[in-house]
A and B are shown apart, each in its own frame.
Chain A
Amino acid sequence: MKEVVMVPEKELKENLIRMHDRRIALLFILPAVVLFLVMAIYPFIYMIYTSFTNLNLSMSGTGQFIGLSNYFEIFHDPLAMGSITFSTMVLLIAVPIEMAIGVLFGLLIRGLKGERIFRLLFLISMMIPGIVFGISAQMIFNYLFGAANYFLSFFGVPEIAWFGHAATAQFVILFLDIIQWTPFIFLITYAGLLSVPQDLIDAARVDGASRWQLFINVELPTLKSFIYIALIIRLIDALKIFGKIYMTTWGGPGMATSSWSFYIYKVGVSYGWDIGYASALAIILLIVSAILVNLLIKVLNLGETLELKREG
């Protein structure tokens, strides 16, 4: 015969109250969960499903299952391949420059007279939405009336058709990205620098460390994790570059400034309305982002840096 364990009345009461509180808490978060399921999870699952269909909004009778055809099509699509080129340029050119300048600014600004004002000024461009950036850029880089050509004319530089040539159009988009996102890196680096213990810096100075030694041996070890996080966030974000392209070059001339995400928009929304193919492109973007981030985490040994090692 099993022994009956008697729970004290007080404990039972407490358990009941705890359960009740839990239910109420669940009830409170339910709307957010439902919203998340409806607005994020359902569309995501639907996107995975449509990537295996030929769904096209402009055609009737579409939406049939076609297996992996959309995925195979990507490798035979020169426009998709062209988009990879520009997205890679953003990753390999814009992001490293943003990282370097952002960190440098963070180091230079700290302790400077008027630090607060500089900090505020740096952050302005980050607060401007990509679309507004694009509209301003369209005016600044206008061939005949733009400020860029006007400014360059003082140095005898002839007018440049910024949006009319592949190289200059690419330069403009990368330049805009750098201007917009360097402050983000600066902000994170700056926050990291503020977290370096002052007594460590003082101790290093007393030991006669030069500015460079101070940076390498004291500041950088603390900053590392901040820089890595900034890098990962920028990496994911750089793959999504859209607003500036939409407002300035529309991916042109040709495919010169068409990023992967802009191409998805063109195929799925703007001209194409080919939802099936656009979904497959979006899934590939997601997979590429995930692989890149994971690779980066491994290469940089981020788990250890951020002390994210699994327990046990």
Chain B
Amino acid sequence: MRKYTILMVVSVLVGLFAMMTMASVSLSLITSPDNGPSLQWLAQEFEKQNPDIRINVSIVSWETLYPRLLADLRAKSGVYDIFTWDVMTAGSVHSGCLDLTKFFKEHSNIIPKNYDRNDLLPLAEKLGEWNGDLIGLPYYNNTMLFYYRKDLFNNPKYQKEFYDMFGRPLRVPTTWAEAVDVAKFFTKKYNSNSPTRFGIALMFPTTHTMFYMFPLFFGPYRRSPEGIREFGSVNITYGDYFTSDGKPAFANKYGLMALEDMKALMPYAPDPLGSDYGQTIEYFSQGMTAMCPQWTNPYMQFKSSPALQPYSEKIGIAPMPGRSVAGNWALGISKYIPLEKQIAAAKFILFATSKWATLHVLEKFGIAPIRESILDNPEAQKVIPWVKALPTIYQTETFRPRIPQEPQLESITDVYFSEMLAGKIPMTIESLKKLAQKWEKVLSSK
């Protein structure tokens, strides 16, 4: 008798478990480290409100995310239901992404009543489009900021010393030429009174970082009246690297000047060709440098660094001396998963891009907002000081190409620029022309 009771209890439990499993939808989300923690937190919050949907968040490095995602989309295997994609890879990933405009039209019932689509920043939304299809909802309106040591720039002692040395007041640089003097002033090797070892933390490694650092320097030339006259206006599909009619725009005196500006700053930076994202964040966090161009969410690391306390007095944030570069991320859904999963995934991305989520991920993780109302929100501006500066920065930022050939172009360019900065390839217009020829070959062969 006892045997049968145990058997019955076990059967009921197994049945219940099976029913629970069958009733819930399990989604797989793949993302990069900069978006990962915020999406993990959002997934937990979402599951509280939607107990029938489970979300497993996998955080992989930038270098791993794209090969995996692309292989999945290309093979139509539907391993990843939801994914973050860097908007510059729109041309590569679009074929496997669900067209959200069409999907939301067909399933309008899943859109929460309070979801304000008009509040999304138009440019952020536009970057989630490809060929008129909305292939991702904007999630992280990332851009580059210029972090500096506010306490040092405001210190009368250093202001006087700088004036004595350069004959002009010490201020946060607004051009890269100004940045050279300031960087020199804050480098111990060139000024023994400098409170920091180096003036600026720069990252020019042979990785994708190089590809987004160049537009910071090239942007001011490309977007100048002369640049616009020569190359036409910038279109966001081809970005600042290209002319308005899709030809490389950097193989000339402007491209050369941008590289020269980069090289001019290198003596005042710790190992610029060997440093990447992690190293430069560490150098600034530890008070080793006076300035550091970085993305928005490293602010959270700077804020918690013991060497930068009190952070409100030590961390200054300004627009880039040249121009910033867009580093937006969007949330996409795979075309190759069942409808039931697509609906659950759509519910999540709507949740993750809601006003509530945008405000919370900004405050907790430094995720730059994708909504106008958050940019104007005094609470948000109070918690994260760069929020106020963002509208101006967004208006002037530069773009990398979003065409399908972008990865190949990036791969070739990183090596070329690195070798030019290292002096292995002569820094001349001729070298840039050779690089442009390689671009043309990639563009024409496909």
Instruction: State the A residues within 8 Å of B (CB).
Output: 54, 56-60, 62, 79, 82, 142-145, 161-166, 169, 249-255, 266-267, 269-274
Contacts and interface: CB of A to CB of B under 8 A. Distances in A.
B167 interface: no
Contacts of B425: 254
B274 A169 contact: yes
- State which size class the interface on B falls in: 35 or more
Contacts of B74: 57
Given A62-B446, A253-B422, A144 B92 contact: no
B273 A57 contact: no
A273 B206 contact: no
27 contacts: A54-B445, A54-B446, A57-B71, A57-B92, A58-B89, A59-B92, A144-B197, A145-B282, A164-B274, A164-B275, A165-B273, A166-B422, A169-B274, A251-B415, A252-B274, A252-B415, A252-B418, A253-B418, A254-B415, A254-B422, A255-B206, A255-B415, A266-B411, A270-B66, A271-B208, A272-B407, A273-B92
B404 A143 contact: no
Contacts of A274: 408
Contacts of A161: 270-271, 273-274
B205 interface: yes
Given A250-B205, A252-B207, A254-B424, A79 B412 contact: yes
A59 B446 contact: yes
B206 A250 contact: yes
A141 to B, nearest CB: 9
A56 B63 CA distance: 17
Given A143-B270, A272-B411, 15 more contacts: A58-B406, A59-B92, A59-B405, A82-B415, A143-B275, A163-B275, A164-B271, A249-B206, A249-B274, A252-B206, A253-B205, A254-B424, A269-B67, A271-B408, A272-B407
Contacts of A57: 70-71, 74, 92
Nearest to B68: A269
B424 A58 contact: no
Contacts of A59: 92, 404-405, 446
A161 B273 CA distance: 9
A254 B418 contact: yes
A251 B408 CA distance: 16
SS class, residues of chain A in contact with chain B: loop
A218 B204 CA distance: 55
A234 B429 CA distance: 43
A143 B418 contact: no
A270 B424 contact: no
Given A57-B74, A163-B271, A165-B422, A271 B197 contact: no
Contacts of A252: 205-207, 273-274, 414-415, 418
Interface in B64-119: 66-67, 70-71, 74, 89, 91-92, 95
Contacts of A267: 411
A73 to B, nearest CB: 10
Contacts of A164: 271-275
A164 B275 CA distance: 8
Interface string B237-275: 000000000000000000000000000000000111111
A278 B250 CA distance: 28
Contacts of A60: 95, 404
A255 B417 CA distance: 11
Contacts of B89: 58
Interface in B427-446: 445-446
Contacts of A58: 70, 89, 91-92, 404-408
B38 interface: no
B288 interface: yes
B423 to A, nearest CB: 10
A139 to B, nearest CB: 10
Contacts of B446: 54, 56, 59, 62
A73 B272 CA distance: 32
Most buried by B among A162, A166, A250, A267: A250
A144 B288 contact: yes
B419 interface: yes
A166 B424 contact: yes
A45 B36 CA distance: 37
B279 interface: yes
The 10 closest A-B pairs by CB, nearest first: A252-B206, A163-B274, A164-B274, A254-B419, A271-B411, A143-B271, A161-B271, A58-B92, A164-B273, A164-B271
Contacts of A79: 412, 415
Most buried by B among A164, A165, A249: A164
B283 interface: yes
A58 B69 CA distance: 11
A253 B273 contact: yes
Most buried by A among B70, B74, B271, B422: B271
A144 B284 CA distance: 11
Contacts of A251: 206, 415
Nearest to B209: A250
Contacts of A270: 63, 66-67, 411
A161 to B, nearest CB: 4
A249 B92 CA distance: 26
B397 interface: no
Contacts of B283: 144
B125 interface: no
Nearest to A267: B411
A253 B411 contact: no
A20 to B, nearest CB: 40
Interface in B163-214: 197, 205-208
A111 to B, nearest CB: 44
B410 interface: yes
